[in-house]
Every structure is written in C-alpha cells, then in structure tokens.
Structure 1
Amino acid sequence: MGTSELAAAGVGAGDEVVLPSFGGSRVADAVLALGAVPVFADIEPVGFCLDPAAAERAVTAHTAAVVPLALFGQAPDRPGFAELSRRRQVPVVELGAEPGAASLAAARRRRLAAHLGTRLTGLVTPEPLPGREHTYARYVVRVPGNGRPDRDAFRRALRARGIAAEVPVPVPAHRVDPRRSGAWLPETERAAAEALALPLHEAMTRREMHRLVSACRALGGLVLEPAC
C-alpha cells in the first residue's frame, strides 16, 4: 500500500517518513520496502487519524514525506496538514482515502451511524469532526472502563450473542518487528486498548440494527463503566 505514491513523492533510501502507528502497518511496510525509515507520530484524541501537531514534532531535516491516513472512513485534518507542509516544506502524501464519500452507500452508512449514535450509550461512538467527512467504512467505537480487559470482555460477550465485533488494530505498528520503535504514543496506545469495530454496512436491516443495539444494552454491567 502506497509504495508507488511514496516513490513518486521522492521518498528513497535513508529518508524518514512520518506516519501514524495506529492503522499504519501496511504503509510502514511500504516505507521499509523503499529503504526509508518509518517515524511514528501520535493520533488525535478523537477520530483515530494522525495528529498534525504530533506529526510536525516528528519532522526532522531527514523527513521526505508526512503520510496521514483516512482511517475507518474518517478523513484526516487536511487543512492542518496543508499548513504543516507549507510551514516545514515537506510533502504530504495522503493514503488510504475512502472512495465514494458522496455515494449512496456512504449516505446510507451515515444514516445508520447516526441512528446508532442515538441508541448506544456508555460507548464513545464515532462522529465526523468539524469540516471533515466520514464515510463510516467501519463503525469503530471506544469501550470505556479498564482499557483492553474491558474491551476484550465486551467483544467476547457480543460475539457470544452472534454479533461480529472485531478489534480493528490489534497491535500498533510501532510495537511490531521490524518496525518496532521506542516512540511514546499515548493516544495510539489508548485507541489500541479501547477501539472496537461493530458491524455496520449499507445493506443492514432494521432487524439487524435492533439486534446489535439490544445486545449492547444487555451487557450494560459487564465492564467497570456501562458499556451500552
């Protein structure tokens, strides 16, 4: 993912590329394939996308590109990265853009996401950030409470009820060889411990939605804080 785009931006051996660790494993592999060095920066407290301020702090004289990702259908902060590029004279290469933001399928997913947002309590549900579109390619919530133990227990309980909940990023890229780094990325670690993808697709029926909401509400006392 992204090798040709990075090469076209001038990334080569020995260069540094700033990118998110959360959801950035395939891009990090593309960076390594070019002989360049992935430099991981933290994500935003909401939205799961690369934080422009954190990315700028990671820029050095060896930085050849900054790579924000559109993650789970949430667009990155394009104005923020345009300003970073202007100020630091570093190209920004956006990868992972979700096509069809104005499609009927995306519009349907937005309606379903809005419905879930009014029904699921106790979970931190995704919402589009100001001025940034969200196609809800995946409906990723945060399960509050005691981090990974509560999130994993909630997932197991949902799956026992036939709800195919998945952990979207089991391990951030900066903790996996050969990309391992000693970067301290607190928002990335928090997202990796709390994030859970609930089933949502444009063909979802009212019955399926009701089943999902009912399963979540039935597990309200599972974690330290109510899960739904």
Structure 2
Amino acid sequence: MLRAAGVGVGDEVVVPAFGNVEVAEAVTQVGALPVFADIDPVTYCLDASVVEQALTARTVAVVVVHRFGRSADMGRLHALGRRHGLLVLEQGESEVPYDETAQRRERAAYLDTKLRGVWTPDGGDGHTYQQYVVRVPGNGRPDRDAFARAIRARGVDCRVPVKTPVHRLPEYRRCVSLPETERAAEETLALPVDASLTRREMQRVVSVCNALGGPIAVGSTALFGV
C-alpha cells in the first residue's frame, strides 16, 4: 500500500513502536523513514495528539495498527490526515467468527468482575478481545514478569504481548520519548479468554491471579484498587 501510494526515499511515515516490527520494516523497504509515536494507554493504539506532534515537513503517511481487538480512534486520525494532507493506512487483525467473539466477550466480562490486583482492559466500543490484556503494576521495576512466572507455575497460560518495543530494537533504536509505550511493554500481560475454556478453567484463572495480584502489585494499590 505504501509503494502504491508513492511513498519512498526522503519520506517519513508515522508508526507505532508498541507491536510487531513488520510495519516499520514495510516503511524501510520502500525507502522511507519510520517515525515512532506514542500510544494511547487505554487502546494501545496510536494517540492522535502525539502523532500530530511527530509530524514534520517530510511526513506523508501514518500507519495505524489496531491492537488486541480494540480499535484506534480512527475519527481523530482521519481528521488529522485531512488536516495535514496525509495518507492514513490501517493494519487490522485477523477476523474472528461472531460466535467466538461473543464467547470471548463473555469470558472477558467474567474476568472484569472477578480479577483483583491487576488493571483490567477497558471494553470500549466493539472490543473483540483477540487478547485479554491486563496490566500488572510495577514497584519502581516491572513486577509483570514475576507475576507471569508465578501464574504459569500454577497452570495458568499467559503471554507477554509485546516483549520489546520496536524503537528499542538495534536496527531501529532511536532517542525518542515514548513513555506510554515503555510502560505498556513493562506492565501488560495477556490472560486466556479462548472460547474453548470452561467455567471451571476461568475460575481457576481468577483464583490463581487473585492469590498473587495483591502481594506482587504492592505500591500501586491506590490506582489499581487492590
């Protein structure tokens, strides 16, 4: 899409650093420079106000990536594109059948009401919960990794959704301030909400997480309601 739009050498394209490297790679493959902008801490997608601050005379496009089943604020981003004459491209996620989405939402709603000691995701408009991503607050250092090891040891599957933001990778390392991206990379953890999970398995997820969430999340009790 970038090549078809005429994006090339000397151009700049604003992209997120929170996520996979493929978007930045696509920009460099057409000869343009990826410029990293910070994310909205609720949606984990590009924050339109931060994108606007990252624009220069060479910016020709913005690539928006939807995350975890939650969509970016495309109304604001398209308005930004019109205002500055920019191409706004979207990278979506793989489609999930309606029945499976409904079951994921049901499991997500259960976790929303039962989990303690972690920050549950904001459901937002049309969230499909491709991943159910919580935040495990740190204590001056990330406690997310200790939390993940502990619940895995008790039989609960989980994964770190973004291990290293793109702007930290050697080939894209930049001196750029992305505080929300950094914080999300240190605190986020995806818990299971697969449609195949039984109620007993969901109860197990809750009991294991709640047994650990409070003690490990010491220091952020006021914000996270422990």
Match in the other structure for 1:223:
217
- Structure 1 residue 147: deviation in Å? 5.9
Residue 105 (structure 1) aligned with residue 100 (structure 2): yes
Q: Which one is further off, 6-15 or 148-157?
A: 6-15
User: For 1:53-64, what aligned pairs fall within 5 Å after superposition?
Assistant: 53-64=49-60
The 1:97/1:56 distance shift into structure 2, 3 A limit, reads: farther
Match in the other structure for 2:130:
137
Residue 121 (structure 1) aligned with residue 116 (structure 2): yes
Equivalent position SS for 1:93:
strand
Unaligned runs of 5+ in 1: none
| C-alpha contact 2:142 2:187 (8 A) present in aligned 1 | no
Residue 181 (structure 1) aligned with residue 181 (structure 2): no
Paired positions, count: 221
| C-alpha contact 1:69 1:76 (8 A) present in aligned 2 | yes
| C-alpha contact 1:25 1:173 (8 A) present in aligned 2 | yes
User: For 1:26-45, what aligned pairs fall within 5 Å after superposition?
Assistant: 26-45=22-41
Equivalent position SS for 1:49:
coil
The 1:144/1:199 distance shift into structure 2, 3 A limit, reads: same
User: Once the two structures are superposed, what CA deviation does each residue of 1:111-146 show, in whole Å capped at 9, x if it has no partner?
Assistant: 1111110011221111233xx321110111111132
| C-alpha contact 1:39 1:58 (8 A) present in aligned 2 | yes
Q: TM-score, with normalisation over the residues of structure 1?
A: 0.91
Could you tell me the percent identity over the aligned residues?
Answer: 52
Match in the other structure for 1:70:
66
CA distance in structure 2 between the partners assigned to 1:128 and 1:183 by the alignment: 30
Selected match of 2:43 from 47, 52, 77: 47
Q: Which runs of 4+ in 1 moved over 6 A?
A: none
Letter in 1 for 2:113: T
Equivalent position SS for 1:94:
strand
CA distance in structure 2 between the partners assigned to 1:186 and 1:80 by the alignment: 21
CA distance in structure 1 between the partners assigned to 2:119 and 2:56 by the alignment: 35
CA distance in structure 2 between the partners assigned to 1:211 and 1:72 by the alignment: 23
The 1:165/1:71 distance shift into structure 2, 3 A limit, reads: same
| C-alpha contact 2:14 2:54 (8 A) present in aligned 1 | yes
Match in the other structure for 1:161:
154
- Structure 1 residue 26: deviation in Å? 1.4
Selected match of 1:18 from 14, 20, 36: 14
User: Once the two structures are superposed, what CA deviation does each residue of 1:56-98 show, in whole Å capped at 9, x if it has no partner?
Assistant: 1111121121011111111110101111011111010001344
Unaligned runs of 5+ in 2: none
